[in-house]
Structure 1
Amino acid sequence: MYYCTMNWDDIKIFLEVARSERLSTAAKRLSIDASTLSRRVHKLEEKLSTKLFERTVEGHKLTQDGEKLLQYARQMELNANQALKNITGDNIHNSGQVRIGVTEAFGSFFIAPHLIELQQSFPNINVELLHFARNIKISRNEADIAIAVEKPKNTSTIISKLCDYQLQLYGHKSYLDKVMGRIDPSQFSSYRWISYVDNLLYTEQLSYLKELDANIKPHFQSTSITSQYTAIKSGLGIGILPCFLAEQDNSLIKLCPNEVNVMRSLYLVTHPESKRLSHVNTVWQYLKQLVSDQKALLLPEH
């Protein structure tokens, strides 16, 4: 019986291409030439006598065999990292890097301003916030912890509801002055609206205006919640914002609180092997405690 062997460099190359889905991106991260990387991937496929990637115009997509190898390769990587931490004693002392994949709004306006206590209690834990405008692929190790706006269906990950949060309608005085100081819910479609770009939404959880009035046509759209926030703040129009963002800006005025009250949920997601690392589990528990302590910001009273 013939058994093929793979070295660790093969695994690292495979993992990077699987995660980035693009040779150019993977090559840059690995600091090697893209053509060299392509040859290495082909040689690995020849060695395994199978096709690991489908080459498409959108990039390299894993085949069924590629998905199988990914599970083993990721386990090898986690075991190697765990071994290093145990040898150096880092894991015992809650030390290491924790990557949190999160939406722009929650990462910038809720998590980042509340990391000081974590830093003070665990100075050897370094947090990286990665803003994703799509679903985060925990199985491909894009992050240690993901905060998702809808409950994932992946049964191989650990999923826990983090919190509910409220979104409401906000505007600035400079725009309200143009509409005689009030917003009439029965005339929603007549106002200037700020919103997301509908056809670029990665989840219907971000499609708020459809819940208010199907006739609303936004006058300004952006894939960035920060751009929407600054547009509303400048008086360009009105729009739906998370309360944890808008309530921190006294220049914004909450509008129609009884008629507009959008609720959404967030979910914590991680891989079982990652959850067993003390520094990852510490950040997981910290996030759980943080949303409990800041519930009034997430779900403010009218």
Structure 2
Amino acid sequence: MERQIDYRHLESLIALLTVARLGRYTAAANVLGVNHSTISRRIDALQKAMGGHLLTRSPNGWELTDLGRRAMASAEAIEQAVEAIGSEKDTGGLAGHVRIAAPDAFSAHLAAPALAKLQAKHPQLVFEIVSETTRARQTRTGMDLEIVIGEPNVRKAASTKLMDYELRLYATAEYLEAHGTRVALEDLAGHRLNYYIDTALTVDKLDEATSVLPPIQRAISSTSIAVQYAATMNHAGIGLLPTFLSEHYPNMIPVLHDQFTYHSEYWLVGREEALRSRAVQETVRALNDAATTGDWFIPPFPAYDLSRG
């Protein structure tokens, strides 16, 4: 028979709620500002009080048991009650800690400005953005939301397409003057490419983007899109870059746009437990709205002349 939970277990219920959403004790500890052992003690105390296991380890991280799901309902009710109290002082009444993993360009140019606007409305919201370009993971990674390139294939998670985008070839006028302005697709073998590091690339869509190009020597490769832009703007080679950024920089000259373009998409992935959080729901809405309207942040990005010291 299930035992009653008293007020002493409020912190334990919040610990359970956070572990259930993130799938990892360490991630929950980071969000709650405690250490891993504190999370473990709180979960153990709650399990003793309820007379059974609330979590079970799986290949996807920690998952709720049937008893855990019943406890989770109580934890969510507490969370909603706390938010309701806050709404008496703040009409928005939205608080929470949301962790997001997203590719470099999406993180800097869409996620950060969109979430800054959301945070301005709800100052009690806290965001962590991990900038990474990888496929959606099957395991729980301690993130509430993942933004991935290409349609994901994940279990026990919801996914939705945020937007389509294109990769095209760009170079500076200085590079083309030095290496030839008349470029045909078959001539690319005589040029150099700024793009992702082959051995570090785990995203099929990004890997496929170069498959229809002739063999081309790499110039400067990086996991960072900012580095790829800096390399291209400093005349190191031709960059295979997203149009939603490149079209805003006058020194990015289109190369072979009548012969080559590669289509891709950004997708959002969220676990069921995380998506029940109002903070996560509003985060999803903000990201989707920004992607739909194309509300990109385009910072100044001059071509740097390093010879000036």
* TM-score, scaled relative to structure 2: 0.68
Q: Which residue of 2 aligns with 1:207?
A: 207
The answer to whether the Cα contact below 8 Å between 1:166 and 1:263 also exists between their aligned partners in 2 is yes
Is residue 239 of structure 1 aligned with residue 239 of structure 2?
Answer: yes
Q: Tell me the SS of whatever aligns to 1:232.
A: helix
Is residue 269 of structure 1 aligned with residue 245 of structure 2?
Answer: no
Deviations 1:33-90 (A, max 9, x none): 88x79x98xx99xx999xx77xxxxxxxx55895566985987876654453244348
Q: Which residue of 1 aligns with 2:94?
A: 95
Q: CA deviation at 1:236?
A: 0.5
C-alpha distance in 2 between matches for 1:64 and 1:295 = 34
Q: CA deviation at 1:189?
A: 1.2
* Structure 1 counterpart of 2:198, one-letter code: D
Q: Which residue of 1 aligns with 2:285?
A: 285
Deviations 1:21-41 (A, max 9, x none): 898x9988888888x79x98x
Q: Tell me the SS of whatever aligns to 1:207.
A: helix
Runs (5+) with no aligned partner, structure 1: 54-61, 298-302
C-alpha distance in 1 between matches for 2:123 and 2:28 = 29
Q: CA deviation at 1:216?
A: 1.9
Deviations 1:198-226 (A, max 9, x none): 11112111115533325223122111111
Q: CA deviation at 1:112?
A: 3.2
Q: CA deviation at 1:175?
A: 0.9
Q: Which residue of 1 aligns with 2:163?
A: 163
C-alpha distance in 2 between matches for 1:291 and 1:182 = 35
The answer to whether the Cα contact below 8 Å between 2:59 and 2:139 also exists between their aligned partners in 1 is no
Does 239-248 or 80-89 show the bigger shift?
A: 80-89
* Structure 1 counterpart of 2:102, one-letter code: V
* Corresponding residue pairs, total: 284
Q: Tell me the SS of whatever aligns to 1:147.
A: strand
Is residue 84 of structure 1 aligned with residue 67 of structure 2?
Answer: no
The answer to whether the Cα contact below 8 Å between 1:138 and 1:270 also exists between their aligned partners in 2 is no
Question: Sequence identity, in percent?
Answer: 24
* Structure 2 counterpart of 1:244, one-letter code: F
C-alpha distance in 2 between matches for 1:282 and 1:26 = 20
After the TM superposition, which residues 42-81 of structure 1 pair with which residues of structure 2 at under 5 Å, given as runs? Answer: 66-67=62-63, 81=79
Does 135-144 or 232-241 show the bigger shift?
A: 135-144
* Structure 1 counterpart of 2:187, one-letter code: Q
Q: Which residue of 2 aligns with 1:250?
A: 250
* Structure 1 counterpart of 2:146, one-letter code: A
Q: CA deviation at 1:190?
A: 1.0
Q: Tell me the SS of whatever aligns to 1:133.
A: coil
The answer to whether the Cα contact below 8 Å between 1:161 and 1:267 also exists between their aligned partners in 2 is yes
The answer to whether the Cα contact below 8 Å between 2:24 and 2:141 also exists between their aligned partners in 1 is no
The answer to whether the Cα contact below 8 Å between 1:172 and 1:232 also exists between their aligned partners in 2 is yes
C-alpha distance in 2 between matches for 1:296 and 1:256 = 25
Q: Tell me the SS of whatever aligns to 2:245.
A: helix
Q: Tell me the SS of whatever aligns to 2:210.
A: helix
- Aligned-residue CA RMSD (Å): 4.6
C-alpha distance in 1 between matches for 2:14 and 2:277 = 22
The answer to whether the Cα contact below 8 Å between 1:138 and 1:144 also exists between their aligned partners in 2 is no
The answer to whether the Cα contact below 8 Å between 2:101 and 2:132 also exists between their aligned partners in 1 is yes
C-alpha distance in 1 between matches for 2:33 and 2:296 = 46
Q: 1:262 to 1:210 in 2, by over 3 A?
A: same
